[in-house]
Structure formats: structure tokens, C-alpha cells
Amino acid sequence: MGILTSIFTWWNGATIGTRVYGLRGMARKGEDALGNVYYEGRKDTAGNPRRWVIYQGANDASRVPPEWVAWLHRQVDDVPERSMPPQRAWQKPAIANLTGTPLAYRPAGAMEKGGQRAAATGDYEAWTPEG
């Protein structure tokens, strides 16, 4: 990311002002597998320490894993490594929202898949106002 991008755009990650001034006095609490970094620091209006995430890459909340969402929303007190049970063998890792990307789900009949879908099975009867 170029210096001009980090100065003027917030949607490509944290601006330079956030990195230099906004995180002053904040304690780094951890990092997730996607490279997002989590901080805790100054008090909010209720007297609780504020919790922040600095995204690695695009600012997209769907890129925050569920265990860190729980920490950000104060559902757990300590960071996930110490407060959450270990991941089970059958659990899949969280993935970001793929809407608008080439990997997005497109059902049969979608325009991106050719617009063709299977014919009705015969149990469908169209409604007519006279009938």
C-alpha cells in the first residue's frame, strides 16, 4: 500500500492517522490468522476499555473470525487464545463474505452460469385470473 493511499483512503486499511495517532496508548492484544491486529485501550463513555481491529487489507467486518468478534463485542473477557475452547476437528475456518467476487455462490439458472435452469417437474400449475 502506497503512502498516499494510507493517508487519504480508509477503505484499503487503516489510515496513517489511525496508525500513528489513533492507536497511541492502546495495547496490542493479538492477531488472527488473516493478519488483522486487535487493540484495547482508552475508556469509552461507560468506563470500559475500547477494543479495536486494524484490518490487514480491505476493511470488511466479515473478515473478522467469530472468536475475535466475541472479544470485540465483550462476549468474552480475555483474548480468544485464553478464553475460548480449542477448535474442534469438524469445525471449518471462517471465510470472508464472497458476495461480489468470482467465488460467490451462484445457483443454477443464474445469469453468470448461463441462465439455464432445469424445467419444472410437472407439479407446478400457473395461476390464471379466470380460473
Tell me what pLDDT residue 69 has. Answer: 92
The pTM of this model reads: 0.65
In a domain? residue 121: no
In a domain? residue 120: no
Tell me what pLDDT residue 31 has. Answer: 92
In a domain? residue 102: yes
Write the pLDDT tens digit of every residue in 63-112: 898 899 999 999 998 898 888 888 899 988 878 888 888 888 888 888 87
Residues of the domain holding 31: 3-109
In a domain? residue 52: yes
In a domain? residue 118: no
Write the pLDDT tens digit of every residue in 110-122: 887 777 777 777 7
* 43 confidence band (pLDDT: 50, 70, 90): confident
Mean pLDDT score across all residues of the chain: 80
In a domain? residue 114: no
In a domain? residue 115: no
- With a CB cutoff of 8 Å and minimum separation 6, the contacts of 97 are 60, 62
21 burial level (CB within 10 Å; 0-12, 13-18, 19+): exposed
In a domain? residue 56: yes
Tell me what pLDDT residue 72 has. Answer: 93
Domains held by the chain: number: 1
